[in-house]
Amino acid sequence: MSRNLRRLSIALAVFAVGTLLVFGVMLLRERSLRAIEADQRARAAKYATSAVAHAKESGNTYVFYWEMLTALAADEECREKVTSLEFSLGREPFDEPFDYSVIRQLTNLKRIYFYCGGSEQALKAAQGMESIEEFSFELCGSSPEEIEMLATFPKLKKVSYSQVMRQSTIDHLKELLPGVDLRGYDDAELIAGDP
C-alpha cells in the first residue's frame, strides 16, 4: 500500500508541477502580449502626433495606424490643410476595424495613394467626395466594385495603377472614366497582361 501511495504522490507532484508550468507560461505569454499591445499603442500615438505635424507643414501625410487618420481628422488645421493621404497598409492595423469614414472630414483632400491594400474601405468611405482628383494604387489591385466606385468622384482627373492589368479591365476603366487620365507605373501607359 505504501508503494502505491508513493507512486500516487509522485504522480500528483508531477501533475502539480506540470500544471504550474503551463499556467506560468500562459501568464508570461499574456503579459508579453499586453506589453506588445501597449508598445503598439504608444508607437501609434507617436506616429499620430508626427502625422499631424507633417500634415500641417506639407498638406501630405502617410497613414499606417488608424490613430493617425483619426488624429488628422480631429485637428481643425489638418482638416483644412490635408490634400494628400498615403495609405501604407499591408493589413488592417491590429485587430481593430480601421474607421475610414473620417476621410470625409478632410475637406480639401485631392489625392489618395494606396500601397498594399486598404483601398476598398477607403473608397467606400470617400465615395462621392467632390474634392478628390486622383487615386494611385501600388501593389494592390482593384475589385470590380472598387473600379465602379471610382466613377462616383465627380472631379476625378487621374487614376494610376502600378501593376499589370487585364486588357478587359483597362477597357472598362476607359469606358467608365472618360476624360480621366489613366496611368501605369512611373506615369507610363497602363500595361495589359495576365496578372
Domains in the chain: boundaries: 45-187
Reported as a single tens digit per residue, the pLDDT across 74-91 is 899 988 999 998 887 644
Contact 149, 173 (CB under 8 A): no
From 80, 73, 69, select the one nearest 107 (Cα to Cα).
80
Residue 72 confidence (pLDDT): 87
Q: What is the pLDDT of residue 52?
A: 82
Pick the CATH number of 45-187 from 3.80.10, 3.30.40, 1.10.287, 1.20.140: 3.80.10
Give the integer Cα–Cα distance in Å for 184 and 157: 14
pLDDT score at 93 = 47
Task: Kindly calculate the radius of gyration of the chain based on its CA atoms and give it in whole angstroms.
Answer: 25
pLDDT attached to residue 28: 72
**Which residue ranges in the chain fall short of pLDDT 70?**
1, 89-97, 185-195
pLDDT at 91: 47
